[in-house]
A = this chain, B = another copy of it.
């Protein structure tokens, strides 16, 4: 049972770094202590510390300059990522991905449909494996976006999906995701695929909205159970 995925070790250190930033009231552009000092302070080796720093840099929270030091990054990106609630994520997905599915149906690209088919086949095989199911769920949504032939839309879909994968969201989702719900999702995916393959823009839009609305409904049920 996958349950709660253990936290990545570099995450633990990364959080300690963020706490230090907060405690010292460091603002964008302010300099953190040197790696050697941070490593000693947190009681870890420098390579381990660096892993955490790189994670934070990738997220835009830090800016690392060779020979110079480590600086607090520009806030815009970081703040945005923290702020979204699961409901906002789901709502945004319903709005955006419905429009994307509609466009994919207009274009009706056989290669995209073939990719969806491959993913659906693998989803069917992966029913007992929640992590795998989740991976393939994301891949399916990206494949739909790829069906628009617009790389930016695919990127955006991936970006929203990534929010779906945040630890908080995942912990709650674990309550309602199982073979039963993945079977439902698979059927809903199939309906989306069929509408796109048929070039039926309205149906594709409705199928995607239905899928994400149902997902939201399932999620709300899980949230209520979590609160109880």
Contact = CB atoms under 8 A, between A and B. Distances in A.
Interface of A: 8, 10, 27-29, 47, 50-51, 54-55, 57-60, 63-64, 73-78, 80-81, 83-84, 88-89, 91-92, 95-96, 98-100, 102-103, 122, 132, 134-139, 141-142, 146, 148, 150-163, 165
Contacts of A134: 74
Contacts of A78: 142, 146, 151, 154-155, 158
Nearest to A129: B29
Contacts of A80: 151, 155
Contact of A58 (B55, B88, B96): B55
A151 to B, nearest CB: 3
B138 A75 contact: yes
Given A54-B55, A77-B154, A95-B103, 10 more contacts: A28-B136, A74-B135, A75-B157, A76-B158, A78-B142, A81-B151, A81-B154, A83-B151, A84-B155, A156-B156
Contacts of A10: 54
Contacts of A57: 8
A150 B91 contact: yes
A89 B141 CA distance: 20
A39 to B, nearest CB: 13
A38 to B, nearest CB: 16
Given A58-B58, A156-B96, A75 B141 contact: yes
A15 to B, nearest CB: 13
A160 B10 CA distance: 25
30 contacts: A8-B57, A8-B64, A10-B54, A27-B122, A27-B139, A28-B138, A28-B139, A29-B122, A29-B135, A47-B50, A51-B51, A54-B54, A74-B165, A75-B138, A75-B139, A75-B141, A75-B142, A75-B162, A78-B146, A78-B151, A81-B151, A81-B154, A83-B151, A84-B151, A91-B150, A96-B96, A96-B99, A96-B156, A99-B99, A152-B160
Nearest to A104: B95
